[in-house]
């Protein structure tokens, strides 16, 4: 639809998204994160989402809305209203503002804008000779660069003299706004039944669907500002026009009015991306390691760690803190969200741990007795160390004794309060990281 229009921008804060589970074509595909759902419940359109465009376009310098259209847009309930969970745009044969027909045109400009995602609109469209119904999008930068440089995406266009056809079309600077990049699909009941019209908009292509069936893809060889103005936010427009260059190409049948476009819902999904951020290489028995998962409101986070790794905090949340052991392993996450379960793992490698004396001669490093009953003595007679770290770790990875400021000439550790069992004694001696197995009896 060649809508060379200038739309007044309303600078409002984009409000928080609705996140809840709904059945739709996107749920089984790549786009699984519901970021906006307009269900058209209530008595009036949500002013935080919608704008009304009124008149014949002359106040914007484009009389006839740039297409010689014959309708006058209003915000009256006779032309636009909510009823039984549906949006109704009603086109009527009546005189107003010098025009012979009235209708409605609503937009989400400045309020609900989307760069990438799957846009789904379930609608039943009007028909009859002279009707021109559209569900479409414009680039949010239209006020800065104008049309068609801002880009236009016609998700669904239907002219009433083509009863069984809907079109998807792109308007860009490279086409001078003309309908060159276009596709169409046929159905026998567009005007009698609800259908789901969808656009999948990514950084690489635009794909168009009806009821899950893809019928057109735009994927230009050359991507520049003239062929690909789509890497930005776009807003929705819903309207029904009368007559015009295309809609009125075969005249207007005045016996068809009133006509209604009925919209059950608009739902926007983004790709679900689950990631875990955190250390991939750690020191043996590293403490208080942090891992962060993607934040999804209302999600349940179930973490699993290897045996011997201790979860300190964060189970059930997106932020996990653990004490690691001396082995490579994976941090695993099972995320339950909007009725679906997603899994992700994050590998952790332990840096080279020298199990034994680390090449230090036995006469320089002595740990005795081993096995030990009450006290253990560490004797180190190597090069002077201003500070050394010594810790004792049980088989669950928990540090049971630690001193970070030890000068290892001769250090005695009281182990009388420890349960019997196997422990790891870890020593950080400058560049040397040494671990020895200690048996407490």
Catalytic residues: 152, 157
SS3 state at 27: helix
Contact by Cβ (8 Å): 119, 198? yes
Joined tokens for residue 105:
């045109």
Nearest 10 degrees: CA dihedral of 246, 247, 250, 251?
-130
- Looking at residue 291, what DSSP letter applies? E
Measured in whole angstroms, the distance separating CA 383 from the mean position of its chain's CA atoms is 56
SS3 state at 196: strand
Q: Where are any strands of DSSP class E within 314-387? A: 319-323, 329-337, 340-350, 354-355, 365-368, 375-380
Nearest 10 degrees: CA dihedral of 401, 405, 411, 417?
-20
Query: Any bridge partners for residue 107, and if so which?
Result: 51, 237
Measured in whole angstroms, the distance separating CA 34 from the mean position of its chain's CA atoms is 8
Please choose, from the candidates 373, 432, 104, the residue with its C-alpha nearest in 3D space to the C-alpha of residue 237. 104
Q: Is the previous residue joined to 284 through a cis bond, with omega within 30 degrees of 0?
A: no
H helix or E strand, kind and range, residue 142: helix 142-145
**What distance in Å separates the CA atoms of residue 108 and residue 47, rounded to the nearest whole number?**
9
**What distance in Å separates the CA atoms of residue 202 and residue 231, rounded to the nearest whole number?**
8
Joined tokens for residue 142:
């239209």
User: What are the distances in angstroms from CA 189 to CA 39, 49, 169, 193, 370?
Assistant: 23, 30, 21, 6, 85
Contact by Cβ (8 Å): 194, 122? yes
H helix or E strand, kind and range, residue 165: strand 165-171
As to burial, measured by CB atoms within 10 angstroms (0-12 exposed, 13-18 middle, 19+ buried), residue 274 is middle
**What distance in Å separates the CA atoms of residue 399 and residue 348, rounded to the nearest whole number?**
19
**What distance in Å separates the CA atoms of residue 127 and residue 188, rounded to the nearest whole number?**
12
């Amino acid at each position: 639809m060649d809508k060379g229009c200038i739309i007044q921008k309303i600078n409002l804060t984009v409000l928080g998204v609705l996140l809840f589970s709904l059945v739709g074509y996107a749920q089984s595909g790549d786009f699984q994160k519901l970021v906006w759902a307009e269900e058209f419940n209530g008595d009036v359109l949500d002013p935080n989402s919608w704008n009304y465009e009124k008149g014949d376009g002359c106040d914007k310098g484009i009389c006839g809305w740039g297409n010689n259209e014959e309708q006058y847009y209003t915000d009256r309930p006779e032309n636009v209203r909510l009823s039984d969970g549906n949006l109704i745009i009603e086109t009527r044969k009546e005189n107003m503002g010098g025009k012979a027909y009235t209708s409605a045109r609503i937009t989400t400009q400045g309020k609900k804008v989307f760069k990438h995602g799957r846009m789904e609109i379930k609608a039943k469209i009007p028909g009859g000779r002279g009707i021109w119904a559209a569900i479409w999008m414009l680039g949010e930068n239209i006020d800065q660069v104008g049309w068609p440089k801002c880009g236009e995406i016609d998700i669904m266009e239907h002219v009433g003299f083509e009863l069984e056809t809907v079109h998807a079309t792109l308007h860009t600077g490279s086409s001078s706004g003309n309908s060159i990049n276009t596709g169409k699909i046929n159905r026998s009941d567009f005007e009698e039944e609800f259908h789901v019209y969808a656009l999948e908009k990514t950084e690489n292509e635009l794909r168009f669907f009806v009821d899950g069936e893809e019928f057109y893809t735009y994927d230009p060889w050359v991507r520049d500002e003239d062929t690909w103005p789509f890497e930005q936010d776009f807003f929705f427009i819903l309207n029904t026009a009368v007559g015009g260059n295309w809609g009125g190409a075969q005249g207007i049948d005045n016996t068809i009015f009133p006509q209604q476009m009925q919209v059950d819902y608009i739902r926007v999904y983004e790709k679900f991306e689950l990631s875990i951020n955190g250390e991939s290489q750690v020191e043996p028995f590293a403490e208080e390691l942090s891992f962060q998962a993607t934040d999804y409101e209302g999600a349940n986070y179930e973490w699993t760690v290897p045996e011997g790794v201790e979860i300190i905090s964060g189970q059930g949340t997106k932020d996990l803190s653990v004490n690691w052991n001396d082995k490579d392993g994976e941090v695993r996450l099972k995320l339950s969200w909007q009725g679906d379960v997603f899994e992700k793992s994050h590998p952790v490698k332990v840096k080279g741990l020298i199990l034994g004396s680390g090449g230090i001669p036995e006469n320089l490093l002595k740990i005795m007795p081993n096995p030990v009953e009450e006290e253990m003595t560490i004797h180190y007679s190597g090069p002077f160390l201003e500070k050394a770290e010594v810790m004792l770790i049980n088989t669950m990875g928990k540090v049971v004794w630690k001193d970070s400021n030890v000068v290892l000439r001769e250090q005695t550790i009281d182990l009388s309060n420890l349960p019997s069992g196997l422990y790891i004694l870890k020593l950080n001696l400058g560049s040397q990281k040494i671990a020895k197995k200690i048996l407490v009896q």
